[in-house]
Amino acid sequence: MDTALTQRWGLFVGLGVISFALGIVAWVDALVVSLASTIVLGVLLFVVGAVQLVHAFVVRDWSGRLMSILGGALYILAGTMMMEEPAAGTMAITLFISACLVVSGIGRIIMAFQQRGLQGWWLILMGGLISLLVGVCLYATLPWSGLWLIGTFVAVELIAAGLGWIQFGLALRQAAYIPPAN
């Protein structure tokens, strides 16, 4: 184990504690985090669209120029809409996630029944049913689910990352510990 790394175990624990605490804050106010995340995504789409447009006008002899101009314009439009109406943006994102979960769930349910001869096939079935149920519930509870879903995802990610960094730091601490000689 790298000695320099094990001596800095506290930095990893500190990163984990901060990430975990921010995850709790995000969970408490998932609505604000959802709206803020949507605005940030809108800004990113706008910037990517602007860069794509500039690129399309700089590369004048490219055969894909027209499609690049159209794509850049659509990115700018989507980004602007998400920045101006973040609540509608969160609902659009939630609708997309809901559709992905439904399609994924149905796919796994079909796969599970096709693999019934394998041991544990029912776990794939259960996973598919859960995805399908979550997707349908998200859709059925729109527009409200759109207001908390993204913030909740961000919160869960921050909490999980925080726990992982804390565990890593503590493992480094343990690796660095040399018991006293008898």
- By the 8 A CB rule, do 102 and 132 touch? yes
pLDDT in tens, the chain (182 residues): 677 888 889 999 999 999 999 999 999 999 999 999 999 999 999 999 999 999 999 988 888 889 999 999 999 999 999 999 999 999 999 999 999 999 999 999 999 999 998 898 999 999 999 999 999 999 999 999 999 999 999 999 999 999 999 999 999 888 877 666 66
143 backbone dihedrals φ, ψ, rounded to 5°: -85, -10
Alpha-carbon span 69 to 126, nearest angstrom: 45
Helix axes 86-114, 144-176, angle to 10 degrees: 70
- Sequence ranges of the domains in the chain: 9-38+86-176
Q: pTM of the entire structure?
A: 0.76
Question: Nearest Cα to 124, choosing from 142, 103, 108, 105?
Answer: 108
